[in-house]
Amino acid sequence: MDLRTYIVRRLLLLIFVLFGVLIISFVVSHVVPADPVQAILGPQAPPEAIERAREQLGFNKPLHEQLIDYLWRVLHGDLGKSLRTNRPVIVDLKEFFPATIELATTAMIIAIVLGIPIGIISAVKKDEAIDHVSRLFSLVGVSMPVFWLGLILLLIFYYRFGILPGPGRLDPTIPPPPKITGLITIDSLISGRFDAFINALKHLLMPAFVLGYYATAIIARITRASMLEVLRQDYIRTAYAKGLRERVVIMRHALRNALIPTTTVIGLTYGSLLEGAVLTETIFAWPGLGRYATGSFLFVDFSAIMGVTLLIAVIYSLSNLIVDILYAFLDPRIRYG
């Protein structure tokens, strides 16, 4: 099976996956003992007003009829209307998701740039001082609570020394650039607003590092373990016996095979970051998907919950597809079938 056929096949299977996710999440969200109408109108609302609102929103219909109506709307690109923001859910997702993409992508770049070299050096210098330091660095990153690290960084770099700006995506005195992609750093470059770009980049550094530190630790640990396993293989010993330099053996022969497990972790971690890091976005007042999803859950906003769930399912499915495609480039022995 060639690559194009494999991608088409996976995309077709994605339709069935999303269909199953929609059905399961719809049923689960509608059988929980919560009343969105009561949350909208308040506990003092008269029964006739509650019943009238149920009828207007379609909540008085049997569950299977509500499910059919919802699936029909989704097929036509309608994810419903948010009870909390009183706007179409797809409009809310377009507004909040770019902020999460910007934060998650920056965090992932930090994690890859730091995590892979740390893992390689730790494996090559096994049981030496630098190995112990890198393992401690990874252990702290995995163990440290995200909210604590975020508060400490705000205390040091914003409150105490004023090196970096505080929460938010831009300073209040900086007008935002014209909205093109929703990513302030990209939009400011496109529109030539370099003042907004520098300011947005400063705002991005702390939350991206907080979010990326955990991912860095995981990537470093996986890369180290994978490199240690590869370095024990016979073909690595043969490469050394042929007189190849250590840098050539590590970078050309060992690293490519060692990156296969790391690629899997990177794909899954990036998907989880795109879900929206609730604590990080809350601490840094970042208007992303995580805060939107949390507010929707607390408000029992069924349409918004379903829209976020569908988006997360698409993210994870596409992340896994990209990882599977990268496998073949890393290891030519892998075949699609």
Token couple for 217: 């630790």
Q: Rounded to 5 degrees, what angle do the CA atoms 258, 259, 265 make?
A: 120
In a domain, residue 33? The reply is yes
Torsion of CA 202, 205, 207, 208, to 10 degrees: 140
In a domain, residue 59? The reply is yes
Q: Are residues 189 and 218 in the same domain?
A: yes
Q: Are residues 119 and 195 in the same domain?
A: yes
Q: Are residues 161 and 195 in the same domain?
A: yes
In a domain, residue 12? The reply is yes
Q: Are residues 254 and 302 in the same domain?
A: yes
- Angstrom distance (rounded) from CA 259 to CA 116: 9
Tens digit of pLDDT per residue, the chain (337 long)?
A: 667 787 788 888 888 888 888 888 888 777 766 666 666 666 676 777 767 777 776 777 777 888 888 888 888 888 888 878 888 889 999 889 999 999 999 999 999 999 999 999 998 888 889 989 998 998 888 888 888 888 999 999 998 888 888 888 888 888 889 988 889 999 999 998 998 999 999 999 999 999 899 899 999 999 999 998 888 888 888 888 888 888 888 887 788 888 888 888 898 888 888 876 788 888 898 888 888 888 888 777 888 888 888 888 888 888 888 887 777 777 666 666 5
- Count the domains in the chain: 2
Q: Are residues 147 and 31 in the same domain?
A: no
Q: Are residues 46 and 151 in the same domain?
A: no
- Angstrom distance (rounded) from CA 118 to CA 173: 39
DSSP-assigned beta bridge partners for residue 88 = 81
Residue 96, exposed/middle/buried by CB under 10 A (0-12, 13-18, 19+)?
Answer: buried
- Answer whether 265's CB lies under 8 Å from 222's CB: yes
In a domain, residue 85? The reply is no
- Angstrom distance (rounded) from CA 300 to CA 289: 16
Q: Are residues 239 and 158 in the same domain?
A: yes
pLDDT digits (tens, 9 = 90+) for 84-95: 888 888 999 988
In a domain, residue 84? The reply is no
Q: Are residues 197 and 282 in the same domain?
A: yes
- Answer whether 276's CB lies under 8 Å from 288's CB: yes
In a domain, residue 214? The reply is yes
What amino acid occupies position 290? G
- In eight-state DSSP terms, residue 176 is P
Closest among 34, 18, 67, 23 to 301, alpha carbons compared: 34
- Answer whether 99's CB lies under 8 Å from 204's CB: no
Q: Is 60 helix (H, G, I), strand (E, B) or coil?
A: coil
- Answer whether 218's CB lies under 8 Å from 269's CB: yes
- φ/ψ of residue 97, rounded to 5: -65, -40
Identify the CATH number of the domain in which residue 291 sits. Answer: 1.10.3720.10
Return mean pLDDT, the chain: 84
- Angstrom distance (rounded) from CA 54 to CA 47: 11
Q: Are residues 144 and 7 in the same domain?
A: no
In a domain, residue 62? The reply is yes
In a domain, residue 324? The reply is yes
Q: Are residues 69 and 104 in the same domain?
A: no
Q: Are residues 183 and 258 in the same domain?
A: yes
Q: Are residues 36 and 170 in the same domain?
A: no
The pTM score is 0.84
Domain that holds residue 261: 96-330
- Specify whether the backbone of 265 is left (phi greater than 0), alpha (psi in -120 to 50) or beta: alpha
